[in-house]
Structure 1
Amino acid sequence: MNNESDYFVVRTKALPTVLKKVVEVKSILESEKGVSIAEATEKAGISRSSFYKYKEDIFPFYDSSKGKTVTLVMQMRDELGFLSKICSKISEYRANILTIHQSIPVNSIATLTVSIEVREDTSDVNAMIQDIESWPNIQYVKIIAQEQSPV
């Protein structure tokens, strides 16, 4: 697992500041036309060498998710109609549910695994996950896989 091409999904709070700043520079470059890399790195407060060192290694999750399958696992309190609420939220973000499996609840807690296709018209997957994760019945939501959809 020490391969330079390994990928990890990491929450923002676990990232070093320099990596967050690299994403910020990329955002500035995309949103402010005509801004040079020197200007964007100065705005973000990092050196150009730091930007160049990490720019190919970090990107927001949603940038790479279009046209892919993302598999989520959720642990939730068992409540009548809650699975339907989750499916509705996924639909609201225009993601296509490919597979869904809910375990039999043990001590009123169920595990749900959902694979979704992130289409071109799908809204921000990160925001969808945060919306679902904010519900009181949800204990956690984790991304367990992200892969290229078959063509």
Structure 2
Amino acid sequence: MTEKEKKFYIVREDILPESILKTAIAKEMLANGDANNIIEAVDKLSMARSTFYKYKDGVFSFFNADSLNIINISLLLKHIPGILSQVLNCVALNKGNILTINQSLPLHGVAHVTLSISVDELTITIDELLSTLNTIDGVVNVEIVGTS
């Protein structure tokens, strides 16, 4: 079967065989730094390395973006070094999780930036975040352009 012919299925974890589930968990441990290498991951899960290698290329975790509260904001920033960094730090300090960043080339001394931000753990209201971003020297304009 070629790559084009392969089918994918979404399956609840409680019906997966233990070896496939542990392989998925081991891959997550490696991706998020809970294990430094494959040997450490499989040892923590009490599974054989051969089992991991058998299933590793066919097991993928499913990310469900439906469970996230996402806002998309548009910013107009002056072309001054460090402005975008200040914006990103402001979002991070208030526990916003930046998912995407798109930035245009500066024209007439300003650049257009669009951020997608997960606000699930935001410590202030969205309006307060926008107001705080507007107070950063070099931020010309901030507005919400969409939500997910």
Tell me the CA shift for residue 139 of structure 1: 1.5
The gaps in structure 2 that reach 5 residues or longer are 1-66
Q: Structure 1 residue 112 and structure 2 residue 113: aligned? A: yes
Tell me which residue corresponds to 1:78: 79
Aligned counterparts of 2:132 and 2:117: Cα–Cα separation in 1:
16
Per-residue Cα deviation, 1:41-100 (whole angstroms, up to 9, x for no partner): xxxxxxxxxxxxxxxxxxxxxxxxx94100000111111011111000000110100000
Q: Which runs of 4+ in 1 moved over 6 A?
A: none
Change (3 A) 1:139 1:111: same
Give the distance between the partners of 1:121 and 1:100, measured in 2 at CA.
Answer: 18
Q: What does residue 103 of structure 1 align with?
A: 104
Residues of 2 paired with 1:75 and 1:135: CA distance?
12
Query: Superposed, which structure 2 residues align to 1:50-69 within 5 Å?
Result: 67-69=68-70
Counterpart for residue 135 of structure 2:
134
CA shift in 2, pair 1:121/1:143, >3 Å: closer
**Cα pair 2:79 2:109 within 8 Å, conserved:** yes
Quote how far apart the aligned CAs of 1:104 are: 0.3
Q: What corresponds to 1:90 in structure 2?
A: 91
Q: Secondary structure at the match of 2:92?
A: helix
Output the TM-score relative to the length of structure 1. Answer: 0.51
Contact 2:77 2:112 in 1 (8 A): yes
Cα distance in 1 for partners of 2:144, 2:122 equals 20
Do the aligned residues in 1 keep the contact of 2:86 with 2:136 (CA within 8 Å)? no
Alignment partner of 1:139: what SS?
strand
Gaps of 5+ in 1: 1-65
User: CA RMSD for the aligned pairs?
Assistant: 1.7
Match for 1:85: what amino acid?
Answer: Q
Could you tell me how far apart the structure 2 residues matched to 1:107 and 1:70 are?
A: 27
Distance 1:112 1:121, change over 3 A: closer
Matched residue pairs, number? Answer: 82
Partners of 2:77 and 2:121 in 1: CA distance = 29
- Give the aligned residue type for 2:127: N
Paired position in structure 2 for 1:123: 124
Match of 1:6 in 2: none
